[in-house]
Amino acid sequence: MVIEKICCLGAGYVGGPTCSVIALKCPNIKVTVCDKSLERINQWNSDKLPIYEPGLDEVVKQCRGRNLFFSTDIEASILEADLIFISVNTPTKTIGNGKGRAADLKYIEGAARMIADIATSNKIVVEKSTVPVKAAEIIMKILRANTKPGVEYQILSNPEFLAEGTAIVDLVEAERVLIGGEDTPEGQKAVQELCWVYEHWIPAKNILTTNTWSSELSKLAANAFLAQRISSINSLSAVCEATGADVSEVARAVGRDSRIGPKFLEASIGFGGSCFQKDILNLIYLSECLNLPEVAAYWQQVVSLNDYQKTRFTRKVIESLFNTVADKKIAILGFSFKKNTGDTRESPAIYVCKTLLDEGAKLHIYDPKVEHEQIFYELSHPLVTNEPENVRKNIQIHETAYSAVAGAHALVLCTEWDEFKTLDYKKIYEVMMKPAYVFDGRKILDHEALLNMGFHVQTIGKRLSRTSSIRAQGSQTMP
Ligand code: NAI
């Protein structure tokens, strides 16, 4: 079979960009991205896409209406497709068995049942969502138990490794594409057919093929390793603060070892995003179910350390402000979980804001890309507050960083947006309450310069004081 038509179930952060790039690189394949949400599909068909991702607008503009379509007509799209990506959400379960750890596979199951109900011809069904090992078996069981006469399914695992904020580059120049399939002639034929799609732009040497379970586990493993590096450097940031070492210098020295490498060694207030925590919890749950408690405990520590880091940073803010933030105006710069995305899922800023609100602070929040209603949504969530009606009273959202900081006791930087590096901090100092505090949760500001302007500055993994600033200044001017 030559793949002529692709359907993708789920028009989210993964389905949208991934299929847009497939449409761009495979002009002869018709790609239809479907979602149950009419609102989301309308946004994909409008000038303002539902997600912010550098380079995405251009790709969508080039392909939409040519060989890229966004639709709620799931039935028509499944019927005509040769290959169907399942790219639906797989959040952590919030109720029942495995609550708080296991992946909730209800959307995967729903998608599989839709395909089984609708399909009248052979399909290759590709699991793109991140799932626990053996999830393909669930899809397989549902499809094969409901197969219509003459219809055959092949199920592949093809996890997505893109990172939000760099999704288009990650997709266009993928370091690797991973495809897992059944070790049968039909399974291997389906693997080759999906390889053919990617080979339109990915060198064959970057396309790895494995068995289905290795492919599923590799995605969980990759995210666990990445998060583990962040927790490792964050654990050392606490040691640095206690000893006078500088975590950036330690990271530079350690990362120079080619066995370790320099990436993902930046200390911060902690990792966020929809994937790292969810996928590690998923791995922990899987390990427990497999009766591997030592393995589960090992990975649990990566999540616990991340919680510790968020708490440590927020505690530092409160303690520095004379142990009370009640009724104090605090400016929060950045709300997304990292720069170049409007995604707020599991953003460390949520924890920081929640704790400050619990302590009675008035928050003035600015983020260049997050929609205002999204901030209210996150901070009114039942897991964040029992009093959602108070949230709007105690939060003001701003259009600029300058208006957010006016009259504030402290500026708390939660996301590493580039524009925060080049703000006019002299102007900011003038409009803030004194003493004026800056808490740089991402280590992106020029701390010496801020100290010299008169700010009290705290960051992660490095002790800062006015005296060190004066010393540094003195040594620069000495002959
Ligand atoms: P998302 O929540 O942005 O999008 C999922 C979409 O699927 C939603 O719009 C939802 O309405 C839709 N949906 C659910 N059931 C459906 C059905 N039966 N038919 C049609 N549409 C349906 O989720 P996101 O971020 O795109 O993640 C999807 C999967 O990809 C998850 O498993 C995630 O772990 C994984 N992943 C996410 C990455 C990321 O950076 N966001 C990166 C790599 C993998």
The CA 451 to ligand 1 mean position distance, Å, reads: 44
Which atom of ligand 1 is least distant from the CA of 14? 26
For 210-248, write each residue's pLDDT tens digit.
Answer: 999 999 999 999 999 999 999 999 999 999 999 999 999
* Nearest CA, atom 29, ligand 1: 129
Q: Check residue 370 and give its pLDDT.
A: 97
List the single range of 265-269, 294-298, 386-390 with lowest mean pLDDT. Answer: 386-390
Confidence check: pLDDT of 42 > 80: yes
Q: Check residue 477 and give its pLDDT.
A: 38
For 114-152, write each residue's pLDDT tens digit.
Answer: 999 999 999 999 999 999 999 999 999 999 999 899 999
Mean predicted lDDT score pLDDT of the chain: 95
Confidence check: pLDDT of 448 > 80: yes
The CA 86 to ligand 1 mean position distance, Å, reads: 8
Q: Check residue 105 and give its pLDDT.
A: 95
Q: Check residue 466 and give its pLDDT.
A: 63
C-alpha distances (whole Å) from 374 to each of 152, 220, 242, 450, 477 are: 42, 28, 37, 31, 48
How does 318-355 read in b/e, with b if 16+ C-beta sit within 10 Å?
Answer: bebbeeebeebbbbbbbbbbbbbbbbbbbbbbbbbbbb
Global confidence as pTM: 0.94
Q: The complex's ipTM?
A: 0.99
Q: Check residue 389 and give its pLDDT.
A: 85
The CA 188 to ligand 1 mean position distance, Å, reads: 26
Q: Check residue 383 and give its pLDDT.
A: 87
* Nearest CA, atom 37, ligand 1: 14
**Residues 460-468, mean pLDDT to the nearest whole number:** 80
**Residues 29-53, mean pLDDT to the nearest whole number:** 97
Q: Check residue 390 and give its pLDDT.
A: 83
